[in-house]
Structure 1
């Protein structure tokens, strides 16, 4: 099943690369999308545990280890409030900066593979939180928007994600649970992967304007459900335009 999930996820990642030019977004638009996701899930029998905002762009100026080291020092100087860790892991150089402020965690990552075929490194920024009140989400979005504008030279895709658990009030069969969630988001299913203990669907909703075009269809929502053992809880991951991590 792991291979199926990886293939399914890889298809969408390729879609992001191929259709990047058709996706128009900015920090403000994605943030309002996160708020809409929270509002929808608040009305369902979902116990939200964590939300995240993530963006990444190519660091074309990082074409050598020397460039990587120079840019790493620049980031450490600019973001002194972050705790930095620089190391080589599985052949990839990583400069990782983290900062925890209450329930909100920030992560800046600069990577360089050293591969001659690569055009450069990558820089990413992620904001993770556990509070879901309107004020908490709004304040965190302000932090993300500020650093998004400082870190990135282009206008990279922003991925919004919410993780949680579904209680017993919702229908127990995964296929029915995901159907109920699609209805809540007023979304139309486009593609799906259905298994007994795992379901993942990609869909389109009109709740936000941003969309990714794939095979003449628009997609801007992905939902994954996994049931853990006999009578176990159902974990939920909702992402837009896709989920960027394994689930």
Structure 2
């Protein structure tokens, strides 16, 4: 990411951390992916990638051995292949496994953070579709949710869509695309960030139950456009409740 819009990334990363802490959500699948796909396609963008992710706390373990057993347990539950076995890196333990199911890649990362009485265990699970059928994620996500609930865990998923416009859009055109998405999702704008190449708008839609609470205001939609200096097009990234990855 270039320096020109690095400050925007800092905002997104900070917001992503907030997402991991206080959210308002109710149980059950809410269909955010389908809503985002419809809204993005209606603006004429070509869908390049769809992604959902969740981060759950697995509690405390007493040793790296127990952490490794926990990692194997969850990998086996989702029939994943180990990419990097448990290792100590930068003061914390990490484990990585993944697999492909039809058009969807599933990526599991387990992290153990040491403290005085043991290790706090966290699991990050990402479902990613880069083919022609992003809706395939929905089926796998429901299976993943069922597995978590069977273990007494209620996961909260964030959703992100990445698309591309074939032309370099001017500021007015970029703003128009973003606001079109907001109208499609019945969302109200809350805040906006902009620099030479990026426009980012955050807002809230009552269509979805899940939301963040930032400074006393609800937020559950973020859309950003970026004029790509390496190609003739303009990138679009849309996420709920926020964009949780660099665009």
Normalised to the residue count of structure 1, the TM-score between the two structures is 0.83
Query: Where do 4+ consecutive residues of structure 1 move more than 4 Å?
Result: 115-119
* Residues 63, 119 of structure 2: 8 Å contact kept: no
In structure 2, the CA distance between the partners of 1:24 and 1:106, relative to structure 1 (3 Å rule), is same
More strand by share: 2
Q: Which runs of 5 or more residues in structure 1 are unaligned?
A: none
SS at match of 2:218: strand
What is the 5 A alignment of 1:1-247? Answer: 1=4, 3-17=6-20, 19-20=22-23, 23-29=24-30, 32-79=31-78, 81-84=79-82, 85-86=84-85, 87-116=87-116, 120-131=120-131, 133=133, 137=135, 139-151=136-148, 153-168=152-167, 172-173=170-171, 174-229=174-229, 232-247=232-247
How far the C-alpha of 1:131 sits from its partner, in A, is: 4.1
Q: Distance in 1 between matches of 2:227 and 2:92?
A: 34
* Residues 50, 131 of structure 1: 8 Å contact kept: yes
* Residues 36, 207 of structure 1: 8 Å contact kept: no
* Residues 29, 142 of structure 2: 8 Å contact kept: yes
Normalised to the residue count of structure 2, the TM-score between the two structures is 0.83
How far the C-alpha of 1:83 sits from its partner, in A, is: 1.1
Q: Which runs of 5 or more residues in structure 2 are unaligned?
A: none
How far the C-alpha of 1:18 sits from its partner, in A, is: 5.1
In structure 2, the CA distance between the partners of 1:166 and 1:181, relative to structure 1 (3 Å rule), is farther
Q: Distance in 2 between matches of 1:147 and 1:177?
A: 33
Number of equivalent positions: 238
In structure 2, the CA distance between the partners of 1:68 and 1:156, relative to structure 1 (3 Å rule), is same
